[in-house]
Structure formats: C-alpha cells, structure tokens
Structure 1
Amino acid sequence: MAPRILLCGDVLGRFNALFKRIATVNKANGPFDVLLCVGQLFPKSNNIEELDEMLLYIQGQKEIPLPTYFIGDFGEGAASVLSAAKLESANQGFKMEGIPVCKNLYWLKGSGKFILHGLSVAYLAGRSSSNGSMVGVYCEDDIDALRAFAEESGVVDLFLTNEWPEGILSGANLADAPPGIEHLSGGNAVISELVKELKPRYHIAGCEGIFYAREPYTNDGASHVTRFIGVAAVGNDKKQKFIHALSPMPASVMSASELSAIPANATASPYNVLLKSGGAKNTRKQPEASDSQYWRYDVSQKRHRGGTTDGEKMCFQFLSSGSCTRGEKCNFRHDIDNKTPFSKGFCFDFISKGRCERGSDCKFRHSSEGGGSDDQIPSGSCFEFFKNGRCNKGDECRFSHDLDAGKKRGNAISTTNQPCWFCLSSPNIDSHLVVSIGENFYCAIAKGPLVEGHVLIIPVEHLPSSLSLPPDADGELQNYKHALKRFFRKQGNSIIVFERYFNLRVATHAHLQVVPIPLSKASAVRSEFISAGKKLGFEFDVIKPGENDDDTKMSLKKLLRGGNGYFFVELPEGTILAHLLESGEKLPMQFGREVLANLLGKIDRSDWKNCKLSKEEETSMAEDFKNRFESFDPMISS
C-alpha cells in the first residue's frame, strides 16, 4: 500500500493554524502517515506571542498530531531550539533520518537521504551559505553529499528543498498558473543542478509563498518523469493551498513499465529548455575536474582548502559506497589507518574525528571487525552444490563437492576483503542470475537488461579487467563468446561485446557486456560508436580481426597497456574499436549501453537502474535463458 503524506510550505511559527488544519484533514481524509514541511518552520520576527505559541508544542504542552519532518531550520527561535536538540546525546553523530526535536517533530539537517515509509527521500535544508556552522544554511559539503548520493543505484522518490530551482517555469504552460508567479525570486541554480543529477520522481519546495504544481517533465538518462510541487505559506492571505496530499508508491516496488509511464501532458526538462534558450547561466563556480563533490568528512582537526592538504580529507564517495570512480586521481583519502574502506553502517563521527563521544551507546560500528564472511566458495568447488547443497550433474560434475577440503586450503575465489557484487563467494551476489559456470568465467543475466538476452561474461577470479587474466583463461572466454554468437545467430541477432575499465585504487570486478542486436542493425554499430566518441572528443583506434583470437587479443593488450583505463567494443564482424583513457579523462559510466540504446531506439533504457525487474522476473528470465542456451553452453557441451 502506498504511504500517504501531507506537504506544507512556510509555517512561520503559526503552529496552531497548521496543526489544527492537519488534525482536521487527518480526521476527514486520513489516516496520513507523515507531514513534510518544506518551508520556514520558525517565526520571521521576534514576536513574543508567536514564539510562545511555538514553544507550547516544542515543550510538549500541545500535541503535534502527525510525525512531522522539516527542513526550514531558520528564523527566530531556531538557533536556541535546534542547538538544544543537537546537545542531546541520542542526537549526536550522522543522523540523516532526522534529529528528534520533540515528540513527532524531526529536524532534517543539512542534507541527506533516507527511507521513510518505503520512500527514498533526499533533502537539502535551508538556504545557501559558505559557512556551514550557521543554523539554517547549507554549504558545499551538503551539496557534495547529494552529488555522491546521485551516483548510487535506485530512484529517489522525493527531493525536499526550501529554495525553488532556477528555471522551473521554462517550457511550462503558465495559463493556469497562480497569480504572482511572475514575481518569483528566480530560484537557485545549484538546486537545478542537483535535481538534474538526482532525477527525483517528486521535487517539493517551499519559501516562495505560492502553490504551484508544474506539469511533469522528462529526465535525461532516466525513464521516469519528475513532478515539481511548490507549496504556499500556512494561513496566507491569498488563500493559496498550503496543505497538499500525496500518495506515491515507492519506486522500489514498482515495475519498470509503471515507473517509465509518461503522462500525456509531460514536457521536456525545464533545465534543458533553459540551457538551450541561453538563459540562467550557472553561477556556481565549477573548477576543472572538480574535487569538491568527492569529499565531505575532514579527518584533520581543522579543514584546509586546496593545495597539498586535500590528502587529509576523507573521500565521501569512497566512504558511502566503498569505492571512488576517480581511483588514483582522487585527491582525498580512501583509507583510515588500516587502508580499509568503510561502508554504510559505520559511525561517521568515528571515521571523521577518530573518536565518538557516545562510545558503546553508539548504534553504528567503530571498527571493521566481523566484516568477513565464513561462507566463501573454495576455488574449484561446485557453485550449484555450494548454493543448493546438491548438484544435478552428480558424479559427472567437473567441480569439487568437498567444500571443507577447499576451505582448508584457504584458496577462496574472491581475492578482495570487500564484498563484491560479482564474486561467487560474496553474500551480495545475485546467484539467481547465474546461467553458466566454467573454470575461469561464468555467465549471468545482466541486472536491468537493455534487451532480452543481455548477459555478462564475468571472471571467476576477482580481477579488475578482462585483459589482466592469465593467458590460459583466454580460451574459455573465447568459447563463451563463440557460443553466444551461435546461440543468438539462431534467433536472427548479432552480438556486441564491450568492456569499460577504470584503474581504481579499490579494484572493481571485471565484466564484459554482451548485448544481442538485430542483424539489420549490425552494420550501423561501428558508425554509431565512432560518432558517440567524437561527441566526447576522442577517436577510436581500430583493431582489425587477426588470423586468430590470440593475435587480436595481443593487439588489444598492446594498445591498451597502461593508462587510466579503457573502453573497447567488439563489432559483429570481429573488428574492435578501442580507446585508452588519458590522465583525468572521464567517460560516462554507461557509455556503451547508451550508444546501443540510441541505436536500438530504446533511449529510455540507457540506465540499467530504470530497467530493474523483480527477483521473480529475474529468476524466470535466467531459467528461460539457461534452458535455451543449454545446447550451446561450452561448459556442458565441451
């Protein structure tokens, strides 16, 4: 069941008017689950009556009828009330889910992302300022944290801001817009940038004193639309709507088709329209290869900007996800004393300061102990036997069913201490996607496939790239590729194989993408990739097919030796287009997929996160593929 939420704009200390209305609405049309305040909660002026009215609720003499989360943390009385809330021992540390101020009132401080009644909620609290220590403002750290969250998987359901984004009216139909909308302050360009990156399903803002629900607009690189809602001030004299009800189904439980439905009145992104029209230049300074978005926590006692002191700052992207896309190029620290990345669940006070004042009362981890897994699969062992306790091949299976003997050798498949999505030994692996397993490689259905039959060929050993595999493994890789070519050829398709590799300090697990395309499209693949490369400012090196697979592989290795990373794509006729990344050069994370999505007319599927299926759908797809591929599978037929 979809959660039921209420939205309100500026409260300005009018707690009686707000909560009386909320109680009435909740009784008549509820029950509602939560109230989100996106305007200024506290009074504008030092009015004794307004302050006393507010304190009756803060001190518990009057009841707040619904759990209420607010981001408008500025105004008269805010400093004293919020400072007192921060001093509570239970409110110390990194609390993105809200700091309790009193019963049913929660302060969303700075910026963050958390789950509320199944909804993924991101927020940016307050107004812009360069001084993050002030109450009611956000700073670069808060913005950079949201940029890092934008790189995480999953769709943001709600994005809450006080300020409106710059350009939200661009391309909109203003015929039915409320009076006064032409007098808007102009909005904030930084928030426009964040919305473009986060791509929330709903962007909700206050502080302009106007209720405005814009037509939904499409997002670049995402299949779902965004709906902007601005909410008016409580008790405003223009009788504009200051309470708005919403009941969105969480994206995490929606099907891909439901999530990608485009309403008839949808428009293009207002930010793209604004850019094309030449309006609203971005006023935020964007240094070349900006470092700011990669850090938030400073491990030194005093923060120093720029220069050689960057190494004293922790990389936020590394802390939040366990890896950083810039690898060795990142100027910020990827390690504490033991060189181990810290994933979610760790105490950020402990990480950033080296100590936590809550000690044993802290609910977050202060060490990396206990992070290992006792359930790793020994090298050479049967994956099916390990996963299910049995193997249908029985004595004919070429792999070991004696797991204990393998464990005693200590020769585990995963060579990294960190959980990896692709290591067969990892608790994070989606084993239901695996369709074939060899000695050096295995094959799995791609998560969020571009098209039906989109698969990955993945090394069993944890290695960063396919070119780093030992020579004796190459034959098995070629066997998989040739088998997939024959399999898809029977269906009237060619295959495109590509790999994107970055030289990261924390190595990723290599995987080759294999995408079937209609034979009629095969001749256009080369020009499509060459054109896409030119748009990014580079030209591919062309490797013609050698007399055999080994010759082609040697040519590829020679070309791509060294460097910051590479991208290569193998065309249907065997030609390889390859590009070695230069120092500091960036390549879109899903470059290969985006090019093929454009070629196939499936641009809405260019991001795998927008194509996710349920586990039941994935399992069914994998089983179907496994059954049809069985007669071609080199691990069975060999």
Structure 2
Amino acid sequence: MSAAKIVAIGDVNGQLESLFQKLGTLHAKNAFSFALITGNLFSDPTSASSEETASIQRLIDGTISVPLTTYFALGSHPLPPTVIDKLDSSEGELCPNLFFLGKRTTTKTSDGIKLVALGGTHDPALDSLSKDSYAPTYSETDARSLRGANAADILVTTDWPIDIRKGSQAPYASDSSPTGHPSIADLAIALKPRYHFSPSNAFYEREPFAHPSSEANPDTFAITRFISLAPFANPDKQKWIYAFTLDPTAAAPITLPSSTTSSPLSSSRKRPLPEQQSYRFANPATSAGYRGGPKRRRAPPPSQSECFFCLSNPSIATHLITSIGSESYLTTAKGPLPPKDSTSLPFPGHMLIIPLAHSPTIPSLPSDTVAEMTRYRHAVHALLKSRAPRTAAVTFALDRAAGVHAHWQFIPIPADLVTKGLVSAAFKVEAENEGHGAVVAGPPGADAEGADVFRVWVWDPATGDEKEQHLVLDDRFRDLQFGRRVLAKLLGVEGRADWRACGQSVDEETADAEAFKEAFAEFDFTNEE
C-alpha cells in the first residue's frame, strides 16, 4: 500500500461553498486520498445566518459538491438539527463523499490510515461515557475509553493536550494559546499518533516530539507532530490548510529527525498506561478467544470501531457498563446465565471484566492491565461475601490468538458446589468427554507455551481461596461457549446455555446494571481515585 496524500483543514464555520470549491481546485492538482476537517464544519446553529442555514440544505441535497472523500470532526459547536437528522438516517454519511467522524471513534480509511477522534470540549460535569453522540462535550471517561485503540496514525481532538507548548520554540500567532486538558495528553501518550490535529484561532506547528521508548521496541522512536490549523479564510491569512503524506505501513524510525524534542506530555494518571474472547454484547458467534499462525481461512476480525467491547464503538451498549477504571472496565453480561432469583442478590451477577485495550489475549496485555482486571474480580468477590455469603464465583477466559477482544466472564454460583468439588470436576469431565484433553490444576506453564488456553478461577467464600485450572487447546477446538455450557449443566439451567435464550429488554438490562452499581459502590476502587 503506497503512502496516502492527505489534506487537513481547520475550522470552516459554515463557509461550505467556498471551502469545497477551493478544495476541488487543489484536489484536481494533487489527487489527495482524503480530506480531514479538524474543527467546526458548520457555524454555531444558535447564531447561524439564513444563508448559512440554506447552504447546509444545499450540501445535504448534493447541490454543493464535495470533490473527494472528506471526514469532518465534531468541534466545539453543536451540529445543526438538519445535519443530525441526516446523519441518523444515513449511518454517518451526510452527503456523497462527506462523512462524520463522530464524538468518540476509531476509523480505518481505505488507505489503511487509522483515525482516532474525540470531539467536543471537556465538560467536568460529565462523569461517565457520553450517550449523546452529537453533543459537543466529552467526559474524562470518553477520553480514557479511546486509549483502547492502542495506536493511531492521526488523532483529532477539539481540545489541545495540556502542556503541548512546553519545551517548544515554535511561535503561536495569538496572544494566548488554548489551555489544553490532561485527559487529551493522556490519550496522546497512550496512542502515540504520528499526527495530532486540534484546531484553534491561530496556526501552530510544534516541533516533532519523541515518546519514551517502550520495552517492546527499545530501538525505535514513536514521533508525534502536533498541528493546530487556523480557521478557513481567516482575515489574518494564517495557515488553515496542511497537506502531507502518510504511509501507515512505514516502520518507526531508529534515529530522531532534526529538531525533534522530548515529549512535553506527562501522564495525569496515578498508574502508568499499559498498552487491550469474545462473548460479545451482540453476537457471540463472531467471538473468539487466542493463538498465532492461522491454520484455516476465516473472516477478518471486527475492527475496533465495530468491536462490541471497545468503548470507542459508538454502538456499544453503555447501559450495561457499571464501572470504568484506568485499564479495564466492568459490565453486566447480556443474556446472563444465572436466573435473577438464583442468589440473594437483586441482580443475576453475571459480569464481564474487559480490558480497555483491543487485544485478542490476556497474556498479551501489560501487567498493569491484568492487575486491574484482577482487582475488579476480587472486588466483586468482596461484594458477594458481604451481600450473599453463601455464593461462590467462577471466572473463566477463552484465550485464543484468533480472538477479537479478550475478557473474563464472572459468574456467581452456590457455594456448596465449590465445597463439594463439583465445579472443578465438571470442567474436567466435560473436557474429557469431548476429547479436549485434561484440565490441569494451576495456571498455564510450559505446557501452554504458544498455545490457546481455556482458564478457570474458582473462588470459595468460606476460605477466601481462589484456585485456578487450565486446559490447553488444540487446533480442533471450536466450542466458544464451553465455559458457559459447563456451568449451565452444573447449575441445572441447560436451557440458558445459549445467551440468546436469556434475552432481556433494555429496561430490564438497565435495572440490573443499576442495581449492581448500587450494591458495588462501596467495593468499587475507582470511586477512591
């Protein structure tokens, strides 16, 4: 794949016809792969003139032609109502060649360029994932959720990262630059984008800066170029357009380009960011759990914008989410296995513990991520011990290299099944009966090196002990619902082995999630941080 020629543009503020005419002229000479509008495409609808409103309709109707594939960001202004109506009915395509990036998204272009976008300005009153896809505000949780994208070729944010001008000699042609926000700095540290665009009232191009080398790649440098473009057709004639080429397959440099500085960004988090099976919210048939080297043809896995476990997916079922940490999050399961009245708790208690990072296996995640996931598991144990002392818990994971987005499933069970040794026996018997091999006590070791593995943790509330078992899988293993099916038999609810047989309405799902959050509040360590 050859390098893509890209053109980025600052705030347009409703000058639609002028912009696209100018862009058409430039595209005819340069043959850009796509254009990127990094700020407000439209003027503020609360103060828009009648001509600006009319031009929006002409754009939607196709009277104003968009000359090439163009992505536009959510800026600091609300989108006009006619634009929102059109986007809702057309899956993000406003008119031919014009696509909305969205508030909190990852996008892969046809050239293989990975775009990550966080639109709007920070609203300190928001304390969870934004549910309004068009409101020009974001929460720290929104920003944190995008770290799971792992990397970006281009990052687009409305807010600047805090301290981005620190250590820079590059001029900013305005009396004062935007203050910036720590959550954007954290996001840039996590994604290490090659280019980071964030609009403002003046042009600013910072010297390239190098992120600290990682343990995984100690001999290469991740370099970011931060660029802020002035508004289109601004009276001061400051630079509002920036053309560049980008090869998404290019290797990271092993030497620093001249004028490169050290990174001005520092993490605001209390723990360093890490680098992220798949019983999915929507369709477990597309799940998988991990292992290298394809032995058979299979459909490509969902991208992060399609993954039902990535918080950057605008279609994620946010009403199921109960807690979000720095590295992972906790959510109720869709189609829970235990019936609601199976414990003394006012909710089923079937939970998913999911890393923010999009990765097919748990072992491939940084230790900080696994540590936080374990902390979540132990916190739910504490909840059970306090509120349902006769309830034990089983956590299992199907770790496959061909997986999508690794996670753990946490299921409460009657404690007597653990004390009688029935849980461990159930997994051993089922594995042997199906010819999968022997379930071995303890964590995976040399026997599992390079292999796909099914792992189980069984917690006994009477002793507080948690014992692990594992099953090394061969290439013939296809039973992605193995763990759920074993527990369904053990609990005497085989009719619930398929999550689709346990469907709930959105209202019922929301009520269970809210009931869990209320009970979990005193055990949720994220409330302390």
Separation (CA, whole Å) in 2 of partners of 1:241 and 1:138: 27
- Opposite residue 67 of structure 1, the aligned amino acid is T
1:248 maps to what in 2? 246
> Structure 1 residue 201 and structure 2 residue 201: aligned?
no
For the aligned residues, what is the CA RMSD? 4.7
Aligned to 1:210: 202
Q: 1:317 aligns with which of 355, 365, 374?
A: 355
Report the counterpart of residue 94 of structure 2 in structure 1: 101
For 1:16 and 1:120, locate their aligned partners in 2 and report how far apart those are by CA, in whole Å. 28
Contact 1:15 1:53 in 2 (8 A): yes
- Equivalent residue number for residue 428 of structure 2: none
Q: Which has the higher helix share?
A: 1
Equivalent residues in 2 for 1:109-120 (5 A)?
109-116=102-109, 117-120=111-114
C-alpha separation between the residues in 2 aligned to 1:233 and 1:300? 35
- Structure 1 residues 462 and 85: CA distance shift in structure 2, 3 A: closer
2: distance between equivalents of 1:8 and 1:506?
A: 55
Residues 230 and 240 of structure 2 are in contact (CA less than 8 Å); yes or no, is this contact kept in structure 1? Answer: yes
2:387 maps to what in 1?
none
Name which of 104, 115, 123 aligns with 2:117: 123
Change (3 A) 1:58 1:166: same
CA distance in 1, matches of 2:192, 2:9: 22
2:286 aligned residue:
none
Question: Counterpart in 2 of 1:228?
Answer: 226
Q: CA deviation at 1:200?
A: 1.1
2:235: which partner in 1?
237
Asked if the contact 1:166–1:188 (Cα under 8 Å) also holds between the matched residues in 2, the reply is yes
CA distance in 2, matches of 1:234, 1:224: 30
Q: Which residue of 1 aligns with 2:138?
A: 138
Shift of 1:43: 0.7
Say yes or no: does 1:168 pair with 2:164.
Answer: yes
Q: Quick one: which of 371, 375, 388 aligns to 1:329?
A: 375
- Deviation, 1:269, is 0.8
- Which runs of structure 2 are paired with 1:523-542 in the superposition (5 Å)? none
Matched, 1:11 2:5: no
CA-CA distance at 1:139 after TM superposition: 2.8
Q: 1:36 to 1:121 in 2, by over 3 A?
A: same
The CA distance in 1 between the partners of 2:14 and 2:433, in whole Å, is 68
Structure 1 CA distance for aligned equivalents of residues 24 and 207 of structure 2:
30
Q: Tell me: CA distance 1:341–1:441, structure 2 relative to 1, closer, same or farther (3 Å).
A: closer
SS at match of 1:190: helix
1:219 aligns with 2:211: yes
Q: How far is the alpha carbon of 1:121 from its aligned partner?
A: 1.9
Distance 1:204-1:459 versus aligned 2 partners, 3 A rule:
closer
Q: Distance in 2 between matches of 1:289 and 1:508?
A: 32
In the alignment, the residues of structure 1 paired with residue 454 and residue 141 of structure 2 have an alpha-carbon distance, to the nearest angstrom, of 34
Indicate the residue corresponding to 2:39 in structure 1.
39
CA contact 2:74–2:102 (8 Å) conserved in 1: no
Q: Secondary structure at the match of 1:228?
A: strand
Partner amino acid, structure 1, of 2:16: F
For 1:561, the equivalent position in structure 2 comes to none
Q: Distance in 1 between matches of 2:106 and 2:233?
A: 30
SS of 1:82's partner is helix
- Structure 1: any 5+ residue segments left out of the alignment? 92-98, 276-281, 352-407, 417-421, 424-439, 443-457, 465-502, 510-583, 586-638
> Partner residue of 2:155?
159
- The amino acid across from 1:53 in the alignment is S
**Structure 1: distance between partners of 2:79 and 2:318:** 32
Query: Residues 5-61 of structure 1: CA distance to partner in whole angstroms, max 9, x if unpaired?
Result: 100010111111211111111122x10010111111111322111121222112211
Mapping for residues 299-310 of structure 1, pairs under 5 Å: 301=319
Is the 8 Å Cα contact of residues 61 and 95 (structure 2) preserved in structure 1? yes
Equivalent residue for 1:57? 59
Q: 2:102 & 2:70 partners in 1: Cα distance?
A: 14
- Matched AA of 1:167: D
Cα deviation for residue 179 of structure 1 reads 2.2
Question: What stretches of structure 2 of length at least 5 have no aligned partner?
Answer: 215-220, 277-308, 333-350, 363-369, 381-392, 410-431, 456-465, 473-523
Match of 1:622 in 2: none
CA drift at 1:199: 1.0
Residue 69 (structure 2) aligns with: 67
The structure whose RCO (Cα within 8 Å, separation 6+) is larger is: 2
User: 1:26 is paired with a residue of what secondary structure?
Assistant: helix
Letter in 2 for 1:225: I
Distance 1:301 1:19 in 2: 40
Match of 1:518 in 2: none
Cα offsets for 1:399-446 (capped at 9, x unmatched): xxxxxxxxx997568989xxxxx99xxxxxxxxxxxxxxxx769xxxx
What aligned pairs does 1:353-502 form with structure 2 within 5 A after superposition? Answer: 458=449, 462=453
8 Å contact 1:224–1:262 — kept in the other structure? Answer: no
Match of 1:600? Answer: none
- Following superposition, the deviation at residue 317 of structure 1 comes to 2.3
Distance (Å, rounded) in 2 between the aligned partners of 1:213 and 1:48: 35
Alpha-carbon distance in structure 2 between the residues aligned to 1:327 and 1:409: 32
Structure 1 residue 109: deviation in Å? 1.3
Q: Aligned letter for 1:179?
A: A
What is the identity, as a one-letter code, of the residue corresponding to 2:153? D
CA contact (8 A) 1:169 1:270 kept: yes
In 2, Cα distance between the equivalents of 1:189 and 1:506?
A: 42
Amino acid at match of 2:259: N
CA distance in 1, matches of 2:196, 2:213: 17
The answer (yes or no) to whether the contact 2:144–2:187 under 8 Å persists in 1 is: no
Q: 1:314-365: per-residue Cα shift (whole Å, max 9, x none)?
A: 54527943556234322699x9x9987999879xxxx9xxxxxxxxxxxxxx
Amino acid at match of 1:201: R
Q: 1:159 to 1:413 in 2, by over 3 A?
A: farther
SS of aligned partner of 1:114: strand
Shift of residue 237, structure 1, vs aligned partner: 0.5
- The question of whether the paired residues in 2 share the 8 Å contact of 1:3 and 1:249 is answered with yes
Q: Distance in 1 between matches of 2:97 and 2:447?
A: 53
Tell me which amino acid in the other structure corresponds to 1:185.
P
Pair 339,43 (structure 1): closer, same or farther in 2 beyond 3 Å: same
| Distance (whole Å) between structure 1 residues aligned to residue 437 and residue 210 of structure 2 | 43
Corresponding residue of 1:263: 257
Aligned-residue sequence identity (percent) comes to 23
Match of 2:56, SS state, is helix
Between the aligned partners of 1:504 and 1:320, the Cα distance in structure 2 is 27
Number of equivalences:
343
TM-score by length of 1: 0.46
Q: Secondary structure at the match of 2:73?
A: strand
SS across alignment from 2:68: coil
How far apart in 2 are the matches of 1:218 and 1:157? Answer: 15
Find the residue that maps to 2:261 and give its secondary structure.
coil
Question: Aligned equivalents of 1:459 and 1:302: distance in 2?
Answer: 34
Distance 1:298 1:62, change over 3 A: closer
Matched-pair contact (CA < 8 Å) for 2:330–2:354:
no
Residue 64 of structure 1, CA deviation: 0.6
Residue 462 of structure 1 deviates from its aligned partner by 4.2
Q: CA deviation at 1:66?
A: 1.2
Q: Is contact 2:10–2:37 with CA below 8 Å preserved after alignment?
A: yes
- Rounded to whole Å, the distance in 1 between the matches of 2:131 and 2:10 is 23
